[in-house]
A = this chain, B = another copy of it.
Amino acid sequence: MKPTRRNVLRSGLGVAAMIGFPEIRGYSHSEIDERMKLEKGLNGLTKADLTTPVLILDLDLLEANIARMSQHAKAAKINLRPHGKTHKCPEIAHRQVKAGAIGLCVATIREAEGMAAAGVKGLLITSELVGKPKIERLVKLTRKAPDTMSAIDSLAHAQQMSDAAVAAKINFNVMLDIDPIGRRTGVPAGETAIALAEKIVKLPNLKLRGIHGYSGASSHVTGFEARHAHSMKVMTPLIETFTRLKKMGLPVEIMSGGSTGTYNIDTELEGMTELQVGSYVFMDVDYRAIGSKGGVIYDDFAPSLTVMATVISKSHSDRATTDAGIKAFSTDKAKFTPEIKGITGVTMSYGGDEHGILVFNNPGRDLNIGDRVEFIVPHCDPNVNLYDRIYCVRGEKVVDVWRTVGRYGD
């Protein structure tokens, strides 16, 4: 059957009408994709039509978050290169650029390829692309998107990158990765970093553009004052190294770092040229707990992303079971479980791969079989990574469906 507007409507509504729920329809996600193509913005789909668990994005809140960060950066006269590892979604990247971002950070070669294919420019790959398969892909990408940058923290890697660039007759834009504190990637600031920078600029076909330094340890320090002190302390040596490299005449122009947790702290670092904030677009339970300048909940940005689930079992009075478990949520922060939205007296724990347990402690309302519930996600980046599509809503209406790029193996 050809997917004309009429046929799609008929096949969807047919069964629904028959079973007496004309207002709610059961589509597979690919059927919804077809439908969205046909009736963009007028499709009449609501959240109730979606099969759960499903990733829901409140566009009003997303837009407000993007606008707020954009205004902050403009006022502070600092560039924004938001981190696309959070959303993996070109549609969101485009909105960030439209609001003033100079480009996007990404974490993997696949994310970079996906963003570049969607026309996103100014990409900074914040991980070291080590090994021949990744470097070959970076060669291909750099031919299409010559302004792409990536991180280096060792001479071995720099040499491999230089050899590949020479052979391919291209230039690689590279950022010296300096470690503020985490001992994850990056060299220590100061002499070690300067020695490596001097070696990198001597290698053919590598263009050293600046310093990349991410302090994940600062981003989640609880309490604004403590976070402020932490970030200042660990980032200052990077700024000093950046200043010294410039004084030495090395062609460094970008000093990139920062996070959603320190967006209003790192602007005080003189010499910082850009912020690579990520989570602010979505927010999550973990970030909300770090506290803001004025309160215990970090609410500078609103939680725009939720997972919607359905209550599927209720055999006990003290609990109910949903269809959203380990496979539906990020589980890397054991301390932070999904936070139910709009209902008091209900906490969630995992009941296995496909089940969530809602535990009642004087709940604000009854929850029965078939009820829909929404959860703020524990950690937004890995949570988005679990889904292929993001369902965009305004109120109850589904107004768009966005694809993500760049999962492993994709």
Q: A54-B408, A386-B385 are in contact. Are A25 and B133 (CB under 8 A)?
A: yes
Question: Which residues of A37-65 have CB atoms within 8 Å of chain B's CB atoms?
Answer: 48-55
Partner of A133, one of B27, B55, B353, B409: B27
Contact indicator A15/B314 (Cβ below 8 Å): no
Contact indicator B167/A19 (Cβ below 8 Å): yes
Q: Bound state CA distance, A10 and B27, in angstroms?
A: 42
Q: A50-B133, A315-B188 are in contact. Are A382 and B370 (CB under 8 A)?
A: no
Distance from A194 Cβ to chain B, minimum over Cβ atoms (Å):
15
Contact indicator B24/A133 (Cβ below 8 Å): yes
Contact indicator B382/A407 (Cβ below 8 Å): no
Q: Answer yes or no: A247 CB below 8 A from chain B CBs.
A: no
Q: Bound state CA distance, A109 and B53, in angstroms?
A: 11
Contact indicator B387/A407 (Cβ below 8 Å): yes
Contact indicator A184/B313 (Cβ below 8 Å): yes
Q: Bound state CA distance, A390 and B350, in angstroms?
A: 26
Contact indicator A382/B357 (Cβ below 8 Å): no
Partner of A15, one of B136, B330, B408: B136
Q: Answer yes or no: A264 CB below 8 A from chain B CBs.
A: no
Q: Answer yes or no: A352 CB below 8 A from chain B CBs.
A: yes
A388 / chain B contacts, CB cutoff of 8 Å: 407-410
Q: Bound state CA distance, A387 and B128, in angstroms?
A: 21
Distance from A108 Cβ to chain B, minimum over Cβ atoms (Å):
7
Question: Which residues of A177-195 have CB atoms within 8 Å of chain B's CB atoms?
Answer: 177, 179, 182-188
Q: Answer yes or no: A1 CB below 8 A from chain B CBs.
A: no
Distance from A333 Cβ to chain B, minimum over Cβ atoms (Å):
9
Contact indicator B311/A351 (Cβ below 8 Å): no
Q: Answer yes or no: A319 CB below 8 A from chain B CBs.
A: yes
Q: A18-B167, A19-B168, A185-B313 are in contact. Are A136 and B386 (CB under 8 A)?
A: no
Can you list 15 A-B pairs with a CB-CB distance of less than 8 A? A19-B163, A19-B167, A51-B110, A51-B134, A51-B137, A85-B353, A108-B323, A127-B355, A128-B313, A184-B357, A216-B352, A326-B332, A327-B382, A328-B408, A387-B407
